[in-house]
Amino acid sequence: MDNDCSICNERANRDMLFADSERSYKTKRPLCLLYVLLVLSYILILALFITVLYKTTSDSSQSQSSSAQLRDLTDKVLAEANSTRNAEVKLKENKFNIDVLKNEVQLIGSKSEKSNMDFEKLAIQVADIRAQLRDLEISSKNISCKVDWEFYRDSCYFFSTSKHDWSDARSMCKDKGADLVVINSRSEQKFINSIIADSSEKRFWIGLHDRSTEDDWEWVDGTVYQSSYKNWGPGEPNDAEYNEDCAHVQEIGSWNDMNCDYSQFNAICEQKLSA
């Protein structure tokens, strides 16, 4: 009996232990799951932290790189601005120097032009004096002109009554042993004006043209045009319609350029007298 009771007690104790053990297992299982979840959460949080930290570091590196590029660009812009300012200063200095040189050139040109004008006046005066001396020499030898010719100083002048174009007028003069008149002085111009004033004809061809080269006027006897006497009318010569290459004297005494083929002008022939 006692043995049976002892066996029963042992069984009862084992059952109780087993029951306690099962209850303990059931109690601890949720805790294990909680620990696992906490560990997983920790791992996820750590991974997220690492990702954010990497991205922040990467953005920081890019930001630093961008800042460095911005600084480089700023330095380049400032350097270019300084270079531009220096260039502007040099440009202003060069412009000032150019203006100074222009003023000097204009001053030299004015002096040169004045010198040329003085030289031309002197050359005309010398030519006039030579003509007077020659006139006196010829007068002393009683040299005279042919009929219908006018005498002045050292030349005889023929004022035609027939009308010609410039080339025919020159041929007509050459047939008479003369050539179209070359007007060398103011006094000679006044003599011609006085004859024209008493004539019914008012426009006469003279021996001046620029048929070879436009604006390069030439006297038929080779007299240098640039340094010789001139008496152009206001605004002349103007080469109207690009076809006026021969000169004629008008009734008021001034010169005008005209189409050389115009055939309604008279002519003045000049024959130099030999002393």
The answer to whether residue 211 is domain-embedded is yes
The answer to whether residue 103 is domain-embedded is no
What integer pLDDT is reported at residue 240 of this predicted model? 87
The answer to whether residue 197 is domain-embedded is yes
CA gap 67, 102 in Å, rounded = 51
pLDDT over 90, % of the chain? 44
CATH of the domain at 213: 3.10.100.10
Residue 211 has pLDDT above 70, yes or no: yes
User: Omega into 234 within 30° of 0, i.e. cis?
Assistant: no
What integer pLDDT is reported at residue 117 of this predicted model? 64
Question: Is the CB of residue 260 less than 8 Å from the CB of residue 166?
Answer: yes
Would you say the pTM of this structure is higher than 0.75? no
The answer to whether residue 210 is domain-embedded is yes
The answer to whether residue 179 is domain-embedded is yes
Tell which wins on pLDDT, 156 or 42.
156
CA gap 162, 149 in Å, rounded = 15
Domain tally for the chain? 1
What integer pLDDT is reported at residue 66 of this predicted model? 66
The answer to whether residue 92 is domain-embedded is no
CA gap 59, 66 in Å, rounded = 10
Domain that holds residue 160: 143-272
pLDDT band with cut points at 50, 70 and 90 for residue 42: confident
The answer to whether residue 213 is domain-embedded is yes
The answer to whether residue 8 is domain-embedded is no
